[in-house]
Chains A and B, each alone.
Chain A
Amino acid sequence: MSDTLSVAWALAWIRGAQAVLAENRETLNDLDRAIGDGDHGENMDRGMKAVVGKLADGAEDVQGVLKVVASTLMSVVGGAAGPLYGTAFLRAAKATEGDVDANGAVAIIAGALEGIVARGKATTGEKTMVDSWTPALDAAKAVAESGGTPAAAFRAAAEAAAKGSDDTIPLRASKGRASYLGERSMGHRDPGSLSTAIILKAAADAAEAA
């Protein structure tokens, strides 16, 4: 494990995320079918496969990887996740320079959250991916402030995102098409909160292996 994460980490992160999102394609579709249009797993799988294809020849630096993720998801995904994750990775890319230390990990997560909020205009408690990214950012910040490694920051973020995703289950949706269901959206996990937790866990796994 190293104190800074390089382009090799970023590539391993995105490839790892692609593999786990592909494995969870049906789970995400099922969650989305309950409270949305049923295509979140398919869209993320299609989008991430395209991303990994575009990254086949590698990239110059971490920022370069994040930019490819952003532009590809924006073009390929088609559902709400395209502009949301596209903007998230674009802002994360803008917040990144060179290799990534613990503060850099915080900057990536903060950039992603800022992008999602700018695009989707959701706040916490609305049963969206914001409910995973927000506790993830707080957890990563705490690690960075106490002098932890970037791997520890991503691990804390991933665990907080998974908990945040669990916490969406009882919530009533007030954003997106799930909001049309009103109280019937309660008792279901938000699919975007789970894809977020998967993506952050992949970042932590790749960082610990780096």
Chain B
Amino acid sequence: MTVALVIVSHSVQLADGVVELAAQMARNVELRAAGGTDDGRIGTSFDKVNDAVTELRAAGHDVAILTDLGSATMTVESVLDFLDEEELEHVKFSDGPLVEGAVAAAVTAQVGGDLDAVVAAGRARELFS
């Protein structure tokens, strides 16, 4: 089963847009947008991220999470804090540039990369070196 991605952005539209873009090259990859607060404002939602991760894990996916800005990263790290060590082998944060990272991670997942390969692709360091 392919690795799934959760795209976390302060903006609902940005998260949806990144998913739309990444899906173009990764038709068989599960991509979830977790954008905005619970009531649709600018911000990030612990519950939206947590629900996306929980659903994807229940469906048997490993999960890579990408974020747009520092406070989204803090929300993701808070969610990861509540997972046990075994679960943390299956759910990882990929600390990269959101758009390039999401596309690179999605393509890597599409061609069968494992979680570590997808997370490394999402960091997309080579794009900036």
Contact = CB atoms under 8 A, between A and B. Distances in A.
B74 A83 contact: yes
A75 B47 CA distance: 6
Nearest to A78: B43
A74 B43 contact: no
B107 to A, nearest CB: 30
Interface in B36-87: 36-38, 41-47, 69-71, 74-75, 77-78, 81
A78 B41 contact: yes
Contact of A83 (B36, B46, B69): B46
B43 A75 contact: no
Contacts, number: 53
Contacts of A169: none
A78 B70 contact: no
Contact of A119 (B45, B46, B77): B77
A79 B45 contact: no
Interface in A27-52: 37, 39, 43
A80 B77 CA distance: 12
Contacts of A43: 43
Nearest to A80: B71
Nearest to B45: A78
A34 to B, nearest CB: 18
B43 A83 contact: no
Interface of A: 37, 39, 43, 74-80, 82-84, 86-87, 119-120, 175-177
Interface of B: 36-38, 41-47, 69-71, 74-75, 77-78, 81
